[in-house]
Structures are given as C-alpha cells and as structure tokens.
Amino acid sequence: MTIETGHAAHSCGAVQRKGRASRRAPQPAGPAELRKILLFSNVDESTLSRLSADAKIESFHDGDQLFRQGSPVTDLPFVVSGYVKLLRIAPSGRQTLIAIRSGGEMIGEAPTGPDEIHTVSAEAVGATKVLKLPATRFIRLLKESPSLCAAVMRESKDSIGRLMGEVESLKSQNADQRLARFILLLCPPGEDRCRFRLPYDKRLIAARLGVKQETLSRAFAKLRAHGVRTETRNVHVESVSHLADQCDRLGQRARSAFGRRNAEKRHDAA
C-alpha cells in the first residue's frame, strides 16, 4: 500500500496546477446533464428540474482539490468526465486513497442536513468536469421527494457494498490477486480475448490496490504468465475466463517443493 502523489506534494487548498489559465469557469447545467448522473436515473422529472436550477459545471486540472476533509459541505458534486480521487488525510499528514470516482458517480456523501463536514478530501485526476448541486437545495428536495430519497438510499447501499468488497480484498487477497481482479473489472463484457486502456496511470492503480508502485509493476510481470500483456497503458488479456480461473490460484503459497494441499476451506477472518 501507500504511494506517493508524484507531483502535488503539498496539495492543500484549491491550488491551481500547471499554471494553466482557464480554471474554474462555472457553467450552468440543466436537467439533461443531471439525467446522466447515476444517482438520478430513477428520480422523477419534476424533482430533477427543480434540482437543476442552481446546478453548475466546473472544470478542474490534474491535482486540483475539490474539497477538503474537515471542511463544511456546501454542495454535492458529481463527476461528469475524468476521475476524482477520494483521500483520507491522517493527522500526521499521511494521505490514503479511499476510492476513485468516475463519470456519472457521486463524489462524497449526499448531505441530509445542515452543517455537515466532509469526511474525505477530493482531488481531480487529470482534466475533470464536475457538476455541483448546492447542498441547501438538495437537502430541501430530499425532504419533499420520495424518489430522491430512495435514490440516495440505494446509492448509499451501493457504496457500502463496494467498500465492503474493498475491505474483503485488502484482508484476504495478495497484490497479484487484487490486480487480476482489477483487470477483470476493466475487461469489456462479452469477449474472452480483449484489449483496452488503463483508466489512469500505474501510480494511481497501485494506490487503489493498496500497494507500492514497484509491487504493482512486479504483479503485472507475474500476470504475463497468465496471458496479460501490457505496453505502458494498453492491456491485452488473452483469455478473460482463464484469468478469472487463475485468480484463486494466485493466492496459493508458492509451494516449496512437495506441496501439502490444504485445498480449499481456508477460513480467513472469522
């Protein structure tokens, strides 16, 4: 686990990076934009249009901070394009990646009352567009729209499920297995042999998997033996099904000579 940020060594305050000019020129957004957000896919039309009244779309550059852990929640942001890192920052200053949000996903938590506080920091990965809804309006509509309420509850459960999966994989899988599972997630469904591009650089992937960059690199090397080729950001999987099969075996002890199969039945944490 634990990877350095590479560039933004400080990343405190909404620092503008790379000296580019055009940062943060809020654009208005309408119901059409909102409808593209997963959370709203089942929300009724009228709520949606009321929600979109003060919606704004903002652009960020790589490393820009969207909000900081401990600061008050003033609005509810969603990723329109690009990626956003969610980080926990310990008192020591140590930053730990908690999750990465991509297009259509909510960043942070839906506020349900006034005076809430961010429990994580959020930072743009590459050029990113974000749609922001003012928290106050959102909170008001939450009280009036059951369909919005239901959507938020569904989203929360999703989020809980994903985090539990994260805990499970950190507790029970090694780096090779986590990488294999990560790759399987990226494979377009349907084809057994496939080719795609990694969504972000390997430093970030390493942090996402909770390993050092060097360890990730070695894990990729190990997967070559199982039909996974990489050229920088491009990945080629010879057989998705075969990789999925191997996934378990990657956890097997490297077996010093004669192996005493304690086949299956490994009780992990219980």
Partner DNA sequence: CGCCGACTTGAGCAATCTCAATCATGGTGG
Partner DNA sequence: CCACCATGATTGAGATTGCTCAAGTCGGCG
Residue numbers at the binding site for DNA (CB under 7 A): 1-2, 6-7, 174-176, 201-203, 210-221, 230, 232-233, 253-256, 260, 262
The number of C-alpha atoms within 13 Å of 110 and in the hemisphere containing its C-beta is 23
Which of 140, 146, 192, 241 contacts a second copy by CB under 8 A? 146
Residue 214 CB, shortest distance to a second copy, in Å, is: 14
CA atoms within 13 A on the CB side of 7: 14
Site for a second copy in 152-181 (CB under 8 A): 152-154, 156-157, 159-161, 163-168, 170-172
Task: Write the binding mask 202 to 221 for a second copy: x where contact by CB under 8 A, - elsewhere.
Answer: ----xxx-x-----------
The SS3 of residue 55 is coil
Longest CA span, the chain: 68
Contact call for residues 239 and 194 (beta carbons, < 8 A)? no
Nearest C-alpha neighbor of 27 from the set 129, 104, 178, 148: 129
49 binds, among a second copy, DNA, none (CB under 5 to 8 A by kind): none
Q: Are 2 and 96 in contact (CB under 8 A)?
A: yes
Point out which residues bind a second copy (CB under 8 A).
1-5, 9, 11, 85, 87-88, 90, 92-98, 109-110, 112-113, 119-120, 123, 143, 146, 149-150, 152-154, 156-157, 159-161, 163-168, 170-172, 206-208, 210, 248, 264-270
